[in-house]
Amino acid sequence: MSAIAEPVPVTLPTPRRARPASALATLARRRAALTAGNPRQILVPLIGPALLALVVAPALTVATGGLHSGIDYESFVGVGAVGLVVPLTCIFAGLSVIVDRHSGAQRELLAAPVPRSYLVIGNLAVALVLSLLQVGVLIGLSALRGGVFHITAHGVAWFLGAVLLFTVFMYGVAETLASRISKEEEYVGAVPAIAILPFFLAGALFPISAMPGFLTTIAKFLPLTHALALMRYAFVDPSGKGLHDIWGMSNVTTEAWLSLAVVAVFAAALTAISIRMFSRSAVS
Amino acid sequence: MYAIEATGLRKTYPGGVEAVKGIDFEVSEGEVFGLLGPNGAGKSTTVGMLTTTIVPTAGTARLVGHDVARSALLARSVSSVVFQEAVVDRSLSGRANLELHTRLWGVPADRAKRRIDELVDKLGLSELIERPVGSYSGGERRRLEIARALCSEPQVLFLDEPTVGLDPRIRHELLDVIAGLRARDELTILVTTHYLDEAQRLCDRVAIIHEGALVALDSPKALLAKLGSSSSASTGAPTACSRPCGTEESLPKTRSLSERGSRSRSTTTRSRRHSPRSSPSACARRRSRRACRTSTTFTCN
């Protein structure tokens, strides 16, 4: 007889796990519930862009006489304001990742039997819905204020494609920052560089061709420039002047696909980076 | 197969801090196993590695046969954790937190509802469960955390210093709750604590961890016997183990300990029904085997 009592074999259980869609929906529902419980997170990102569309654009139209290119300046800025509302919304969403980490809630999620990429994707899903809602409100307000939008099914598809991909990109930036930065105050300090600076360089308030040459070149590398040019092509500028400023080609459809591809590449890259950064930083 | 199995588990943090220095232990199904040690001993790091929230530097660990590194999802699916700090979403209601947990662990909705209702009732949360968790007291929140961890019907439950920060009355209430969990034979519990009386009350066996190494492992009764009657733990008072609490050989004489030689290793019996507590001869046999394996010595400083 052995000196040590042998353990009775334990039957290997068939572990129960949530289906991927169900796990993702649960994580997204959690984020949505937390976001809904904090209306400031929804309203604050909308205030600045709404003021741009409702106050600044009409005032500049009066003061400067508009763009002199046949494009309605109020609608031009109305779309340009999307370039501010989406980054701000995503930055706020990224902030909630830091809050999760500090409150301890992230530990529960890390101990859950779901892939850690789902935690990023669940948050992204809510950021996408929130961005779409805010963009819808912004365009609606701009239209009510007098902006002229040419809305067609074809245009809506381009517009949605640009908004969704740009939101994915921006959320990737926000999530990556949240993984790298431990303190909320440091994270907030990064907002001007991440959200405001590109807004001024990407042709949100004026065509990029109006800037000095080297800044125009820099602007062509920003995903926001491509996203805004696509959105304007969809609703404001069917001739695709903004796309032509970037690509200088004769076929506007080709230019639109190229710009969509650029935003898609940025979105895919930042999503992959953010998932990797989160997975690495969340566990020690 | 053991419910928990750690072999050479080691964690060295960036900067060279060795939090856990290659520990080995096994916990049988249905056993309540304690990790006892002072702050910074490596208890939470060990739990972190077992729950896949901390990546081991070396060694392996299995939960119900599932490797925590290679099959992390499976390991997580059979376990649950009550963390040292609160991890519930404070702006959500208690019920929403429990439902979130059951969904993430894939508990079917009807079963989850029954299980939540049962736990809410058992843990005295009925009056609170619809309120936002932010309005809970510390003890109420901790009970909710235990309900949360149990509502997915885990096979392995980790309790990481579950009573830390609670006042004495709430602490004793909570210990009653945790002691009640022993009624579930299929549930294996690993509890970390720095209170000797908690370990004595709750655990079938206790491993003493000090500076990342296991320095003793036995039934609470056997460990206390080695401590001698001078220990304040024998009074039943909440005794903070601010120093290592015992060793295999020289425990009554020691004030603090350092380990020389290889790491200690121990093997469990089936469960508390065959536990060292109820079987002194089994304890002696295991001690004998451990001594043969490790030739660990301890010195008084």
B83: chain A residues, CB-CB within 8 Å:
104, 107-108
What residues have CB less than 8 Å from B16, skipping those under 6 apart? none
Per the domain annotation, does A9 fall within a domain? no
Band of the pLDDT at A55, cuts 50, 70, 90?
Answer: confident
* Domain limits for position A104: 24-282
CB contact under 8 A, A19 and B91: no
What is the average pLDDT score of chain A? 89
Per the domain annotation, does B56 fall within a domain? yes
pLDDT score of A179 more than 80: yes
pLDDT score recorded for residue B181:
78
pLDDT score recorded for residue A14:
62
- Complete DSSP assignment for B169-182: HHHHHHHHHHHHHT
pLDDT score recorded for residue B291:
36
Distance from CA of B162 to the nearest CA of A (A): 15
How far apart are alpha carbons A77 and A188 in whole angstroms?
A: 25
Structure-token pair, residue B132: 């936002």
Q: Chain B residue closest to A110 (CA)?
A: B53
Band of the pLDDT at B224, cuts 50, 70, 90?
Answer: confident
Band of the pLDDT at A67, cuts 50, 70, 90?
Answer: confident
The structure tokens 């805010």 sit at: A134
pLDDT score recorded for residue B250:
32
Tell me what the mean pLDDT of segment A234-263 comes to. 95
Which tens digit of pLDDT belongs to each residue from B56-75?
A: 999 999 999 999 999 999 99
Q: Report the half-sphere exposure of A148 (CA within 13 A, side-chain side).
A: 6
pLDDT score of B258 more than 60: no
pLDDT score of B53 more than 50: yes
How far apart are alpha carbons B220 and A123 in whole angstroms?
A: 46
Q: Strand B4-13 and strand B58-63: pairing?
A: antiparallel
pLDDT score recorded for residue A6:
55
Cβ proximity of A141 and A54 under 8 Å: yes
Neighbours of A271 (CB within 10 A): 20
pLDDT score recorded for residue B1:
83
Tell me what the mean pLDDT of segment B280-294 comes to. 39
Which tens digit of pLDDT belongs to each residue from B106-161?
A: 999 999 999 999 999 988 899 999 999 999 988 889 889 999 999 998 999 999 98
CB contact under 8 A, A108 and B101: yes
Range with the poorest average pLDDT among A9-23, A160-174, A180-194: A9-23
Tell me what the mean pLDDT of segment B186-200 comes to. 89
Q: Chain B residue closest to A17 (CA)?
A: B106
Q: How many domains, chain B? A: 1
More confident residue, B288 or A111: A111
Residues composing chain B: 301
pLDDT score of B273 more than 50: no
Tell me what the mean pLDDT of segment A54-71 comes to. 80
Q: Chain A residue closest to B145 (CA)?
A: A108
Cβ proximity of B198 and B175 under 8 Å: yes
Q: Chain B residue closest to A5 (CA)?
A: B269
Band of the pLDDT at A39, cuts 50, 70, 90?
Answer: confident
Per the domain annotation, does A186 fall within a domain? yes
* Domain limits for position B214: 4-78+188-300
Per the domain annotation, does B8 fall within a domain? yes
Band of the pLDDT at A192, cuts 50, 70, 90?
Answer: confident
Q: How many domains, chain A? A: 1
Band of the pLDDT at B184, cuts 50, 70, 90?
Answer: low
A4: chain B residues, CB-CB within 8 Å:
267, 269, 282, 285-286, 289
Residues composing chain A: 284
pLDDT score recorded for residue A242:
93
Per the domain annotation, does A61 fall within a domain? yes
Share of chain A above pLDDT 90, in %: 63
Per the domain annotation, does A1 fall within a domain? no
pLDDT score recorded for residue B133:
93
pLDDT score recorded for residue B286:
44
More confident residue, B233 or A241: A241
Share of chain B above pLDDT 70, in %: 74
Range list of H helices, chain A: 20-36, 39-51, 57-64, 73-80, 82-103, 105-110, 116-144, 153-180, 184-189, 191, 197-201, 213-220, 223-235, 241-247, 252-282
pLDDT score of A276 more than 60: yes
Band of the pLDDT at B263, cuts 50, 70, 90?
Answer: very low
Of B119, B98, B169, B99, residue with least CA distance to B139? B169
Band of the pLDDT at B164, cuts 50, 70, 90?
Answer: confident
Question: Which of B105, B204, B283 is the best mutation test for A, with the most CBs of A within 10 A?
Answer: B105
Neighbours of A255 (CB within 10 A): 23
Per the domain annotation, does A91 fall within a domain? yes
pLDDT score recorded for residue B299:
29
Per the domain annotation, does A3 fall within a domain? no
Q: CATH number of the domain that B16 lies in? A: 3.40.50.300
pLDDT score of B173 more than 90: no
Which tens digit of pLDDT belongs to each residue from A111-147?
A: 999 999 999 999 999 999 999 999 999 999 999 988 8
Cβ proximity of B292 and B206 under 8 Å: no
Tell me what the mean pLDDT of segment A106-113 comes to. 91
Tell me what the mean pLDDT of segment B239-263 comes to. 36
pLDDT score of A196 more than 80: yes
For the entire predicted model, the pTM comes to: 0.81
A103: chain B residues, CB-CB within 8 Å:
86-87, 89-90
Per the domain annotation, does B134 fall within a domain? no
Of B2, B101, B270, Cβ closest to residue A5: B270
Band of the pLDDT at B228, cuts 50, 70, 90?
Answer: low
Per the domain annotation, does A56 fall within a domain? yes
- Complete DSSP assignment for A170-194: HHHHHHHHHHH---HHHHHHTHIII
pLDDT score of B79 more than 50: yes
CB contact under 8 A, B74 and A27: no
